Amino acid sequence: MNHARAFALLLVFSLVSPLHLSAAETIWLDQLDLSTVRQGTGAPQVNRSARGTPLRIAGQSFARGVGTHSNSNYRLLLAGGCERFLATIGLDDCAEGPGAVVFSLLADGKKIYDSGPLKNGDAPRTIDVDLRGVQLLLLSVLHGPGARTAFNHGDWAEARFIVTGAKPVPFVAPPHGPAEILTPKPGPEPHLNGPRVYGARPGHPFLFRIPTQGARPIEFSAEGLPPSLHLDAAAGIISGTTPDRGDYTVTLHAGNGHGRDSRILKIVAGDTLALTPSMGWNDWYAHTDRVTDAMMRAAADLMISSGLADVGYDYVNIDDCWSNAPTHRDPQRVGPARDAAGNILPNRRFPDMKALTDYIHARGLKAGIYSSPGELTCAKFASSWGHEAQDAAQFAAWGFDFLKYDWCSYRLKVGSPPSLDEMQRPYRLMGPLLRQQNRDILFNLCQYGIGDVWKWGADVDGHSWRTGGDLGYELDRLFSVALKNASLRDYQKPGSWNDPDYLQIGFMGPNKPGEKGKPFALNPTEQYAFMSLWSLMAAPLFYSGDLTALDEFTLNVLCNREVIAIDQDPLGECARVVKVDEECFLMVKLLEDGSHAVGLCNGSEIPQRLAARWTELGFAGAQLVRDVWRQKDLGPFATEFAAEVPRHGVVLIRVQAQK
Ligand code: GAL
């Protein structure tokens, strides 16, 4: 164990538990304070299964133990006081369908026990694990493969610690630090940002707002712009018709009373869109089923006034709840799904979709819409089943530039579990329909990663696909979600991206009109980590918080142009992971200029000193290191860069060989 870790533990330990040096004693898991257990649904049950029935595994009953539900995590501070952990584990007989759970023990970042999948009817397994010297223990019951997670009721039966020193106590994370603003404010002089390469289809409408920081008014100009495109010199918006197939190297210039900036933008007229991960805002976590036309217009305005658009966020996307529902608490959202001709109808909160996209486009931004291949969306609003071609044409006619297509009730149209063909079918249908429209429409596959969508998402014309469930319910697993997404790095490339879900920092929307929104669950360190991990992975960057509640800290996390440049790098590489232990790792991403972005990532519960050693990462000689969040050069480092990384933190650096 390194010094920082030992010190941190000593500190926590000295605060919570006096030393005991008695003879061996048995302490039962069910006697401990279980209020800090985090689990998928419900709360842990003492001497009962997760569903409140007596503990029973494959017909064998147990008088005591703890019933829980995956994913369940319980962190305990042992401080070296425990000898052994004994238990009998398995899936409780109360599971009425196919469940599978994996029990594991992590000791100071190292896996010391893994049960492998345990399913219905598997005999109870007795375990006896050596805990000598362990400081921090994590007891987990995780989703096993191929099961319905609703049935994952795992039991720690007869679970007990043999204790010779300090007694185990629940680990409570130390309070987090203040919301420190790390990035210097951009100056008044112009600074051109945004992608360096941009794909568009020949003959289609072209729209690109040049992301630029600096005091307005700014005067824009461009050299090498094809004649079919026009630059609005005051607004910095390029529009017109995408020229014939080919690469067009355009030099953009921006000037104001404080200075000038220039930058190359390569426009690639061809088949491939989304040459860099798309960026924007999606309303789901801000407005859910309260979203209105007025909120979407306000969002477009806020993206400009807040500066989000000046660093590249440019899609303004409506999520669920814009169509009619058969029933809803808001009568303005209730109505027929379609008109007599079969055209899908927006609800009365969206009086004129074309006028809405015109409003968004007039600001140089793009507009997104949402549907499901089923009869109803996830929130039970009308969607595209049986009307796919009509809806694709309608979305294009309304002027949308992005479709999120959410599996939802389509599961009722297929077998359980669905075959691969059934999983692909709705996307195979809609992808080419979008491609046939006379405008560029990005296609986002939202089906939570089923059927290894990363293996075929690009073949069904997808530009991005969610690699997992809603992060909204998994925010405490930020690092493991990132690790899973990064393990799929070989499946993404410019034009088609793994999507680990939205950026959920700052504030989510209020539950009722007139109320104030709540902050998302992540502390400031975790919010920086979120943005660092997503950028290292070249993930689509869609903010989904409440734009009306943006504060200086949230904007600081969202708008660091050097962090975004790592995400938007033209190579489109997702960082590779170099494991330090089960909870700490490095992320290393090659960038187009030959430099690397490196993240020192600490997913553990205590501060850790982590080192990026050049030889281990394949870098030759001394390296110049830049602190990306602080936008500050740290100088040359001969063999490694090491830093103290806070709990759930990422230190993000850019590393370049010294000449
Ligand atoms: C979920 C989807 C979310 C959001 C929601 C709307 O299935 O993953 O991102 O779109 O539906 O009901």
pLDDT in tens, 204-255: 999 999 999 999 999 999 999 999 999 999 999 999 999 999 999 999 999 9
Nearest atom of ligand 1 to the alpha carbon of 408: 7
Q: CA-CA distance, 612 to 292, in Å (whole number)? A: 48
Helices (H) and strands (E) in the chain, counts: 11, 39
Please, which residues bridge with residue 541 across strands?
Answer: 279
Q: CA-CA distance, 228 to 113, in Å (whole number)? A: 64
State which H helix or E strand residue 280 sits in.
Answer: strand 279-282
CA of 73 to the centre of ligand 1 (A): 25
Q: Give the residue whose CA is nearest to atom 9 of ligand 1.
A: 470
Flag whether pLDDT at 3 surpasses 60: no
pTM equals 0.90
For 42, the token pair is 């419900």
In tens, the pLDDT along 363-401 reads 999 999 999 999 999 999 999 999 999 999 999 999 999
Answer yes or no: are the C-beta atoms of 465 and 492 closer than 8 Å: no
CA angle 543/194/226 to nearest 5° reads 130
In tens, the pLDDT along 323-342 reads 999 999 999 999 999 999 99
For 469, the token pair is 């469930």
CA of 378 to the centre of ligand 1 (A): 6
| Average pLDDT over every residue of 610-630 | 97
Amino acid found at 434 = L
Please, which residues bridge with residue 601 across strands?
Answer: 585, 650
Answer yes or no: are the C-beta atoms of 346 and 323 closer than 8 Å: yes
492 phi and psi angles, rounded to 5 deg: -110, 150
CA–chain centroid gap for 652, Å, is: 17
Q: Give the residue whose CA is nearest to atom 5 of ligand 1.
A: 378
Pocket test for ligand 1, best of 287, 288, 289, 319 (most atoms within 8 A of CB): 319
Q: CA-CA distance, 445 to 458, in Å (whole number)? A: 10
Nearest atom of ligand 1 to the alpha carbon of 446: 8
Nearest atom of ligand 1 to the alpha carbon of 406: 7
Pocket test for ligand 1, best of 317, 321, 378, 466 (most atoms within 8 A of CB): 378
In tens, the pLDDT along 102-125 reads 999 999 989 999 999 999 999 999
Give the pLDDT of residue 8: 56
Cα 175 to Cα 172, 302, 371, 525, 651, distances in angstroms:
9, 33, 41, 11, 19
CA of 447 to the centre of ligand 1 (A): 9
Flag whether pLDDT at 7 surpasses 70: no
Cα 351 to Cα 344, 354, 356, distances in angstroms:
13, 9, 9
CA of 284 to the centre of ligand 1 (A): 7
| Average pLDDT over every residue of 269-286 | 98
Give the pLDDT of residue 20: 45
Answer yes or no: are the C-beta atoms of 201 and 242 closer than 8 Å: yes
Pocket test for ligand 1, best of 470, 473, 501 (most atoms within 8 A of CB): 470
Peptide bond into 347 cis (omega under 30): no
Answer yes or no: are the C-beta atoms of 302 and 564 closer than 8 Å: no
Please give the positions annotated as active site.
406, 470
Share of the chain above pLDDT 90, in %: 90
Give the pLDDT of residue 398: 98
The three-class DSSP label of residue 564 is helix
CA–chain centroid gap for 242, Å, is: 32
List of residues 6+ apart from 356 with CB closer than 8 A: 293, 296, 297, 350, 367, 398
Flag whether pLDDT at 436 surpasses 60: yes
Q: What is the mean pLDDT of the chain?
A: 95
Nearest atom of ligand 1 to the alpha carbon of 466: 8
In tens, the pLDDT along 83-104 reads 999 999 999 999 989 999 999 9
In tens, the pLDDT along 74-83 reads 999 999 999 9
The three-class DSSP label of residue 552 is helix
Share of the chain above pLDDT 70, in %: 96
In tens, the pLDDT along 47-70 reads 999 999 999 999 999 999 999 999
Amino acid found at 313 = Y
Give the pLDDT of residue 342: 98
CA–chain centroid gap for 599, Å, is: 16
Flag whether pLDDT at 14 surpasses 50: no
**What do you get for the CA distance between the two ends of the chain, in Å?**
36
Q: CA-CA distance, 621 to 659, in Å (whole number)? A: 9
Q: Give the residue whose CA is nearest to atom 6 of ligand 1.
A: 320
Q: Give the residue whose CA is nearest to atom 8 of ligand 1.
A: 470
SS (H, E, C) 102-159: EEEEEECCEEEEEEEEEECCCCCEEEEEECCCCCEEEEEEEECCCCCHHHCEEEEEEE
Pocket test for ligand 1, best of 369, 406, 448, 475 (most atoms within 8 A of CB): 406
Q: CA-CA distance, 108 to 120, in Å (whole number)? A: 31
In tens, the pLDDT along 560-587 reads 999 999 999 999 999 999 999 989 999 9
List of residues 6+ apart from 520 with CB closer than 8 A: 285, 475, 504, 505, 506, 507, 508, 527, 545
CA angle 221/222/224 to nearest 5° reads 160
Q: Who lines ligand 1 at CB under 6 A?
A: 284, 319-320, 377-379, 406, 408, 446, 470
CA of 406 to the centre of ligand 1 (A): 7
Classify each residue of 234-257 as buried b or exposed e, where b means 16 or more C-beta atoms within 10 Å of its C-beta: ebbbbbbebbeeeebebebbbbbe
Nearest atom of ligand 1 to the alpha carbon of 370: 10
Flag whether pLDDT at 266 surpasses 60: yes
CA of 545 to the centre of ligand 1 (A): 14
CA of 195 to the centre of ligand 1 (A): 28
